[in-house]
A and B are shown apart, each in its own frame.
Chain A
Amino acid sequence: MKIVVAIKQVPNRDAPVRIAAGGKWIGEADLEWAMNEPDAHALEEALQLKEQHGGEVIVVSAGPERVAATIREALAKGADRGVHIVCDDLGARDALGVAGLLAAAIRNENPDLVLTGLQSEDLGLGQTGVILAELLGLPHATLILRVEKTEAGLKVKRELEEGWFQSIEMPLPALLTMQSGGNKLRYATLMGIKRAKTKELRVVNAAELGENAAPVAILDRISAPKKQKKTQILSGLPKEVAAALVEKLKAEARVL
C-alpha cells in the first residue's frame, strides 16, 4: 500500500505564547517546534499498515525551512521519503489554500491512502484533511481510531460523540483523518535517525504549484481571551493555599 501522510509542524505545546507586533500572529522567534500530535498518530498508523501489508510511506509537509526537521523526524521513525513544500506564507493562507498546496504535491504520487491528523494544535481548524479529500476526489472518513485493510478496501473505526463509535467500510484510494488514542506512538531509534539522513527529502517550491487563490477566510487579529469568570487566584506555600482553598470551598462556594 502506498500511503501519504500529511503532517504539520506546530509550536511546542508548552511554548510561551506572545502576540507579535501587528497583532496577527504570535512571535515565532524563540519558539520550539514539534510535529502536530494528531499527525504523529496518522504517521504511526501508516507505519503499522506498512509493517502489515508492505508498501511505502511518504510524508508531506508545507512550511518554511524549519519544517525539514519535522520531516526528518518522521523519516527517522520509519517513513521512506519526504516531500517538503517550501512556503513562507503558510499563515496567510486559509484552509483551502493550504490543502491546495498539499493536493498539488500529492496528486502525482497516486497514493492508495492519504492519512492526516484530525486537526492541528495551533490553528485547530480541523479541515485540511477533509478539503484535501474533496480536492483529490477521494472518499474520506474523519476521527478514525483504527484502520483495517479488507478485500474491498478499508474498514475503519470512527469516534462519535459521548463515547459512541461506528465502523465505516470504504473503497481505496481514500483519505482518513486520525484521532489520537488509537495507537501508541513509537520513538525514533538511533539507527532510524542515522538512516533518515540518507533518505530522499524532495523540496518543492510552493510558487511552482500554482496554488495562489486569495484567501476567503481571513484571520484579522489575535487577542488574549476574555475571562468568562472572575477567578480568585490563591497564592502562598502549598500548605497555606490548600487551607485557604478548603476554607473558601466551605464558606464561599458552599460545596464542602
Chain B
Amino acid sequence: MSLFLVLEERGGHIERVSWEALAAAHRLAPAEEIAAIVIGAETEMLAAEAAQKPVGKVVRLEHPLLAPYTADGFLLALEQLVRRDEPRYVVLPHTYQVRDYAPALACRMGQVLIGDVTGIEDGAVFIRQLLQGRLNGSYRHHGDGPCFVSVQAGAFRADALDADANVKPAPIEIFRPALKPAQIRTRPSEPFRESAQTVDLGSAQRIVSVGRGIKAAENLPLIAALAQALDAELAASRPICDNGWLPLERQVGSSGHTVAPRLYLAVGISGAIQHLVGMKGSACIVAINKDPDAPIFEVADYGIVGDLFEVVPALTEAVKAG
C-alpha cells in the first residue's frame, strides 16, 4: 500500500471530513493502493464502515490505550504502522485532533506536515491558504520520506465516492501497536459544553453575521436592527465572541457552528478560512466590507465594497421599505 488514509471517528461513526480526505487521496493514488486506518480501543464497527468505501484495505490500529484520544498514544501507534509499511503518502482530515498530533508524527519521521490543503494539482502540488485566505500557496514535498498531508473540510467532494463503492468490502487487518501506560503523559476528560443553547443557527433560514469591522460592542445594535428587519438570526465571527460582545453560541466557523441558511449576510467579516468553512454552504451569500480584496468576496454572490456604518442603516431602511 502506498498511501495511508487516517480516518477520524466521532460519535461512533467515521466523520464526513475523513471521506473528503479519501476523495483527496484518490488524486494521489489508485483506490487499491489506499490503506484506510481506523484507530481506537474497539474499531470493529468503524472498520466495517470503512471497508465499504473505495479503498484497497482497512487497518484496525487497536489498543486499549487508544481511547480516549491522546496525542502521545496516536503518535506512537501511527509511528509504528508507518515505519512498518513505509507508505509514500499519509493523508489525514484537517481536524482539531489531527492538528494536535500530526505535526509531531511528521517531525518524528523527519518530515513536515503539509496542512490544511484545499487543492491538489499534478506534480504533486498542494494548495493551501496564506494570510487568512488572502493568498494561495503552492507547496511541494521534497525527499524520500512519507509525505504527510492534511485536507481541509469542504475542499473535496465526498459524495462522488459512493459511485465507486466496493462491490465486495475491502479486506480488514488488525495491527496492535506496543504501548505502555507510562508513555501517555496527558489525561483528558470527557468533552463538555459550556451552557445550554438558546439559538439554533443550524436551522436558521436567514443569518446576519458580524465581524471585526463593527469595531466596538456599542455598534452592535446597528447589525441587530438589520437582522430584525430581515427576520434573521444574528451571528458572528470568532473575534466578536472572543471579546464577549456576543455569546459563543452565535459563533459561525470551524470553532463554532456550521450553517447553511438560504441567505447569509456577512458584515465587516474579512473571511478567514476558519469562518468560511462554517458558512460557505449557504445558498446566497452577501458580503459588506470596506476591503475589496477581503476573501469573503470570493464566496459571495453579491458584494458591497463600502463603509458598513453607512451601508447597513441604508440597507435596514430599504428592507423595511421593500
Contacts and interface: CB of A to CB of B under 8 A. Distances in A.
Contact of B194 (A17, A163, A167, A253): A163
A140 interface: yes
Contact of A231 (B254, B280, B301, B322): B301
A161 B141 contact: no
Contact of B71 (A125, A140, A215, A256): A140
B140 A218 contact: yes
Given A17-B293, A166-B189, A220 B140 contact: yes
B304 interface: yes
A125 B106 CA distance: 13
Interface stretch (A55-63, A70-78, A126-134, A188-196): A126-134
Interface stretch (A44-52, A80-88, A199-207, A222-230): A222-230
Given A219-B139, A221-B138, A228-B280, A141 B186 contact: yes
A107 interface: no
Contacts of A140: 71, 104
Interface stretch (B47-55, B58-66, B309-317): B309-317
Nearest to B283: A255
A158 B283 CA distance: 33
Contacts, number: 256
Contact of A131 (B95, B107, B132, B134): B107
B99 to A, nearest CB: 6
B110 interface: yes
B306 A241 contact: yes
A241 B310 CA distance: 11
B108 A134 contact: yes
Nearest to B95: A161
B115 A125 contact: yes
Contacts of B137: 123, 219, 221-222
A142 B71 CA distance: 10
B220 interface: no
A242 interface: yes
Q: Provide the main secondary structure of the chain B interface.
A: mixed
A159 interface: yes
A241 B304 contact: yes
Given A163-B248, A167-B189, A223-B138, A122 B130 contact: yes
A249 interface: yes
Interface string A91-113: 00011100100000000000000
B256 interface: yes
A216 B318 contact: no
Contacts of A34: none
Given A225-B133, A241-B304, A159 B298 contact: no
B311 A11 contact: no
Contacts of A126: 99, 103, 115-116
B111 interface: yes
Contacts of B283: 253, 255
B135 A94 contact: no
A142 to B, nearest CB: 5
B263 A253 contact: yes
B18 interface: no
Point out which of A14, A181, A255, A256 has the most chain B C-beta atoms below 10 A from its C-beta: A255
Interface string A235-256: 1001101110111111001011
A95 B96 contact: no
30 contacts: A13-B132, A17-B131, A26-B131, A26-B135, A125-B115, A127-B103, A134-B107, A141-B100, A141-B186, A142-B100, A143-B100, A163-B256, A164-B193, A165-B191, A166-B191, A167-B188, A181-B241, A181-B242, A214-B143, A218-B139, A220-B125, A224-B136, A225-B129, A231-B301, A238-B311, A241-B304, A243-B318, A246-B315, A255-B263, A256-B322
Interface of A: 11, 13-14, 17, 19, 26, 94-96, 99, 121-127, 130-131, 133-135, 139-143, 158-171, 179-181, 214-235, 238-239, 241-243, 245-250, 253, 255-256
